[in-house]
Chains A and B, each alone.
Chain A
Amino acid sequence: EAQVTQNPRYLITVTGKKLTVTCSQNMNHEYMSWYRQDPGLGLRQIYYSMNVEVTDKGDVPEGYKVSRKEKRNFPLILESPSPNQTSLYFCASRGPGQGHYGYTFGSGTRLTVV
């Protein structure tokens, strides 16, 4: 089944403790992206990647890092999480064969930073 897989689904952590949210897609998509969703703000793009080793900032990149060492994986790294990074995070990918140009989203990771 074609899908975008994120882990973990839920995560509670403490301020300053480094964490990584993993994302993997099995559709051979070139483009991948991370979004955060907050009430009343919709989805905001954190980072995106056009291919292996090619990444760029979205609208809200502060406090986040990404890497794209393999085409299928696009982890999101929070080096020193803060409470304002408490949010619902979605990984997404897009590529040919979908019938559209938009992103296909993973199931989400709900992060709480205390």
Chain B
Amino acid sequence: GENVEQHPSTLSVQEGDSAVIKCTYSDSASNYFPWYKQELGKRPQLIIDIRSNVGEKKDQRIAVTLNKTAKHFSLHITETQPEDSAVYFCAASQSNFNKFYFGSGTKLNVKP
């Protein structure tokens, strides 16, 4: 089955700096990659996703890049704010979207 690895496990940045979280996957058949944000005590919420037919997608301060050849994808958050503090999960799925494989999570701390 698919194996998704996520790094780093914790990340601390100063407010206003950028944050980058990286994930690798093992199954070349995976072609859909969502990112979830989970605030303390809350449910995971999808913040951005990318399909394998594009290399980059942006939504305001967040962006995701995908390198299919290397089998890795990354989440980029610019101009970080304290409310960005949360645990972020990457995930991978094939085109049937039945099974989703999640990374182990990155705890992002944005210091004011």
The residues of A with any CB-CB pair to B shorter than 8 Å are: 31, 33, 35, 40-45, 48, 50, 56, 58-59, 90, 94, 100-108
Contacts and interface: CB of A to CB of B under 8 A. Distances in A.
A26 to B, nearest CB: 16
Contacts of B46: 100, 102-104
Nearest to B42: A107
20 contacts: A31-B97, A33-B100, A35-B102, A40-B9, A40-B105, A42-B4, A42-B102, A42-B104, A45-B99, A59-B1, A100-B46, A101-B49, A101-B93, A101-B97, A102-B34, A102-B46, A102-B49, A103-B46, A105-B43, A106-B43
Q: Is the interface of B mostly helix, strand, loop or mixed?
A: strand
B100 A102 contact: yes
Nearest to A104: B46
Contacts of B60: none
A43 B89 contact: yes
A16 to B, nearest CB: 29
A110 to B, nearest CB: 10
Contacts of B43: 90, 105-108
Interface string B26-48: 00000010101000001111100
Contact of A42 (B34, B42, B93, B103): B103
Contacts of B89: 42-43
Nearest to B105: A42
Contacts of B42: 107
B102 A100 contact: no
Contacts of A105: 43-45
B34 A101 contact: yes
**Which of A41, A56, A100, A102 has the largest number of chain B CB atoms within 10 A?**
A102
Contact of B104 (A41, A56, A58, A103): A41
Interface in B60-106: 89, 91, 93, 97-105
